[in-house]
Amino acid sequence: MTADTVFRIASMTKAVTGVAAMQMVEQGKLDLDAPAQTVLPFLAETQVLEGFDHAGEPRTRPPRTSITLRKLLTHTADSFTIRGTGT
């Protein structure tokens, strides 16, 4: 193996992202429990999907608590949609 050896890491995006985020937490650059919108401002527009009305239109509400890095990494940030971004 050399310094320029290429490795295939299929389906590892979540693992690599999680490790990188935790390294930044260790370095004091990120806080697991701070609102994630301080790093990702578009999360301020987050709405939680509650269901659909009789016409099939989505019914949304603001989240009850802030979305944090901890919630994103543990997949406990609820189901959400971001208004105005098509997401």
Decide which of 71 and 86 is more confident.
71
Active-site residue set:
11
This prediction's pTM: 0.64
| Sheet with strand 46-52: strands edge to edge | 58-61, 46-52, 80-82
pLDDT in tens, 30-78: 999 999 999 989 988 888 888 899 999 999 988 888 889 998 888 776 6
Q: In this model, does residue 82 exceed pLDDT 60?
A: no
